[in-house]
Structures are given as C-alpha cells and as structure tokens.
Amino acid sequence: MHLFHIAPTEKTKKWLKDNKLNKDALQYAITLLFNDITRCKRVKQTILTIQVDYTHDSSAYYFGTNKIFLCSNPDYKAKSYRQKKFVIFLHFLHEFRHWMQSRVLGIKDNQLSYTEQDSEQNNLKYRRDKFEVDARAFEKKYVRRFMRYYKEYITFYQ
C-alpha cells in the first residue's frame, strides 16, 4: 500500500481555497487510485509537494523529484466550476503519471526524446514522445475514477 501526503506551498494553499479544492480529498483520491492500479508489497509513504506556477500556462514535473507544478489557470475558457475542476484534475493526473514514470517505473529524464523548448512550443516532437503519449492516455483513462474518489471523500468525510 502506498500513502500519499499532498504538501501544498503557501501560495498553493490559497489557490486551492480559491478554486474550492480540498487537499485532503486530493490525497485520498490519489492514494486510492494509485493503489487500485499498482501493487505494493509493503506500506510506503510519499510526500508530494504541489506548487502553483503563475508564470506558465502549462503544468510540469521534473523527473527525479516529488514536486508537481500546476499552472494557475489550466482552462481559462471553462464556463463552469465543474469544467475547471475537471481540467485541473487532468493536469494533476498528467503530472502524477510523470511522477510514476520517474519514481515507480524508473524512467530517467535523459530518456525523454524532447527538450524543454519542445515542451514550451508544444510541438510534434513533444506531443509524440512516448512518455507524453502515456501521460495523456493515463489522465484520460483515470480522471473519472479520480473524480469519483475525490467526491466520495467530500461526501463522507466533510
């Protein structure tokens, strides 16, 4: 079993509150999701730091770390709170998958076939990288289950 603790930075705490997101529900949902899809023989604990990035319009994860950067406004076109939360969860799961690639699957950053500039330009080299393709597939596959776990926490523990 793997237990995750979400450690938001100070600015991120305010961002979570402004976006009506519950840190404990995020912890609960990511812990359940991870344990649903992986096997772990002993109890492990991981502190994941979440930092909101107000300077970029994309989220990021740097391989080898336990820190996820989420952009402050992942979907400026969202017409509802539900849409915005959905996109925030997609970003979170995408970067969490990169954490899994790095920390669970042992992928090193030098195995990525794109540069930071490719990522910033969102070009084909970046979009077609097998680890990016995997992260996009992961977020789409698991976002509804993650949302169900998140909502379950809010419903039963609040």
8 Å CB contact between 94 and 107: no
C-alpha 139/C-alpha 89 separation (Å) is: 8
For residue 5, pLDDT over 90 is answered with yes
Cα–Cα distance, 16 to 24 (Å, whole number): 11
Task: Give alpha helix (H) positions in 43-115.
Answer: 81-103
User: Mind listing the pLDDT tens digit for each residue in 107-144?
Assistant: 998 898 888 888 888 888 889 999 999 999 999 999 99
Q: What was the pLDDT predicted at 3?
A: 96
Q: How high does pLDDT run on average in the chain? A: 93
Classify 36 as helix, strand or coil.
helix
pLDDT digit string (tens) for 19-59?
999 999 999 999 999 999 998 889 999 999 999 999 888 89
Q: How far apart are CA 1 and CA 17, in angstroms?
A: 29
Q: What is the pTM of this model?
A: 0.93
User: What mean pLDDT is predicted for residues 86-90?
Assistant: 95
Q: Under 8 Å CB-to-CB from 7, ≥6 apart: which residues?
A: 47, 48, 49, 50
Note the pLDDT of residue 125: 87
Q: Give the residue with greater pLDDT, 52 vs 76.
A: 52
pLDDT above 70 as % of the chain? 99
Please report which residue ranges of 45-129 form alpha helices under DSSP H: 81-103, 116-121, 124-127
Instruction: Give the pLDDT score at 152.
Output: 95
Q: Is the model's pLDDT at 158 over the cut of 80?
A: no
Predicted local distance difference test score (pLDDT) of residue 81 = 87
